[in-house]
Chain A
């Protein structure tokens, strides 16, 4: 089976740091994605990890451990506009193609 788990909701304070975890059990693995989705809008791409380690992109970083089936998204210097849902997705082989299996998303609430 395919399963991706992430917390349903998290709260953090403006200016602080927050870590959003994602664990996965999938039949195959070909990369992990993080997307941001503001309420009522489309998901937008944040990061892609295919090898173990930390990828840093400005205030956002994403970490992957394939042996542990684990990833996290780290957001630094939180701003009010970071209030959104964060979606974790794993790319898995399916037939002769690849598909994305999605977690249900983590709603991040930023408080002043």
Chain B
């Protein structure tokens, strides 16, 4: 699998605070993705990037922003966390046709 790390792996925060999740890859893949995974739902795309400084919205982008200043790093920011953003967040990169996933970040918003 692609070398993908996510930090932090677990986070508890309070409603209204900003939160930034980091994804780091060592495979030099051009495409990177942020998903959230909730019970009863498939993985849902939040934002994706197709190159440095090139990003676009996914299906559930409201309340989230992203930045990609280097090929290897893709940051996801929750501008003002809400309880509905409690979820598991996965970063993925694309190599060829296949997406490879990082280990995930469990976020709890109280």
Contact = CB atoms under 8 A, between A and B. Distances in A.
Contact of A102 (B1, B43, B97, B104): B43
Interface residues of B, number: 20
A21 to B, nearest CB: 15
Give the size range of A's interface with the partner.
20 to 34
Contacts of B80: none
Contacts of A33: 98-99
Contact of B56 (A95, A100, A103): A95
B55 to A, nearest CB: 12
Interface in B55-110: 56, 58, 90, 97-104
A3 to B, nearest CB: 10
Contacts, number: 45
A87 B50 contact: no
A102 B98 contact: no
Interface in B5-20: none
A48 B97 contact: yes
A102 B102 contact: no
Interface in A87-101: 87, 89, 91, 95, 97, 99-101
Interface stretch (A38-46, A60-68, A72-80): A38-46
Contact of A99 (B41, B45, B104): B45
A104 B56 contact: no
Contacts of B50: 97
Nearest to A104: B42
A87 B42 contact: yes
Contacts of B22: none
Given A42-B90, A42-B102, A87 B43 contact: yes
Most buried by B among A33, A42, A48, A104: A42
Interface of B: 1, 40-45, 48, 50, 56, 58, 90, 97-104
Interface of A: 4, 31, 33, 41-45, 48, 87, 89, 91, 95, 97, 99-105
